[in-house]
Amino acid sequence: MELVFVYGTLRQGEVNHHLMSGARLIARMAQIQGVLMDTGRGYPAVVQEDSGVVAGELYEVSAEMLARLDELEDFYGPENPANEYERIRTAVTTDSGQREAWVYVYMKREHDVIAQGDWKLHLLRQNSHVLYFAYGSCMDLERITLAGAAEWFVDVRGRGVADGFNLQFTYRAKDGGRADLVEDGGRVEGKLYRIPTECLDKYLYLREGVNSGMYRPAVLSVQCEDGSVQDAVTFLVVYKNPEMSPPGHYMREILRGARPIVSLEYYGELEERFWTSYGFRLEE
């Protein structure tokens, strides 16, 4: 068996993902070093560079499946002049540690670079609106309203569920921890908004410290209340630390925002955790 990192049309929900049938998913939130380019032909390409990060998924595949992927990627052997891509080994970072895997790459920059290094995010941003999955303080509207951004958050689509993730407080601010999704099993509920795409750059990227390296945008498959599974933008901590106790005002925002949206079971779990682990209880 071999490990393969995929970052474009082979990802979940994309046009060639059916070719991954039978592969074992190792991580949905995986990353490698490199720069992602838009080839202009309906698929991206990676150039390995130290200056950037590329988002993708990590799979375990058979030798037969790897051969089929070679065919898709026009890889005929190392340094073959007919190759469109080269297949090389690289370090892949996941929430459970670092692994080495195959990845298909271009050998030099030939096309426009995709911001944030995420093909699925790049595609979503071409729409006028996107789904946004809030699982922390952005479930609450107080700070959003004070920032003059409330009009972007009026379209609430109800509860969303992220399976395979746990809520942890891995970002260390001066006054305590901040929320993160960690891919290590579990289930996280949150609030689904339908927001104008411009809200990402004009509000959420600023609030989440994207340009300063606090959080990064990511695309997550979220279970919706109507039973469908849809891609939504969310934000993940870039450099995850051991958990740190969040401040009271932050837990207040989470509980206040969660109460009208999440299930009674999940809300009760939040209340119990905040009380037993951090000594915080929301005053009525």
CATH architecture of 127-278: Roll (3.10)
Q: Does position 256 have pLDDT exceeding 70, yes or no? A: yes
User: Looking at residues 273-280, what average pLDDT do you find?
Assistant: 95
Q: Does position 186 have pLDDT exceeding 70, yes or no? A: yes
User: How long is the chain?
Assistant: 284
Distance, CA of 83 to CA of 183 (rounded, Å): 35
Could you give the 3-state DSSP secondary structure of residue 92?
A: strand
CATH number of 2-117: 3.10.490.10
**Do 2-117 and 127-278 share a fold?**
yes
Q: Does position 49 have pLDDT exceeding 90, yes or no? A: no
Q: Does position 108 have pLDDT exceeding 90, yes or no? A: no
Half-sphere exposure of 99 (CA within 13 A, CB side): 19
pTM: 0.94
Q: What is the DSSP secondary-structure string of 211-276?
A: TTTSEEEEEEEEEETTS-EEEEEEEEESS--S--PPPHHHHHHHHHHHTTTS-HHHHHHHHHHHHH
Tell me the catalytic residues: 208
Q: Does position 4 have pLDDT exceeding 90, yes or no? A: yes
Q: Does position 31 have pLDDT exceeding 80, yes or no? A: yes
User: Can you give the pLDDT at residue 109?
Assistant: 81
User: Can you give the pLDDT at residue 284?
Assistant: 61
User: Can you give the pLDDT at residue 32?
Assistant: 97
- Tell me, letter by letter, the H, E, C secondary structure of 110-177: CCEECHHHCHHHHHHCCCCEEEEEECCHHHCCHHHHHCCCHHHHCCEEEEEEEECCEEEEEEEECCEE
pLDDT over 70, % of the chain: 100
Half-sphere exposure of 157 (CA within 13 A, CB side): 22
Q: What is the residue extent of each domain of the chain? A: 2-117, 127-278
User: Can you give the pLDDT at residue 110?
Assistant: 80
Contact 121, 217 (CB under 8 A): yes
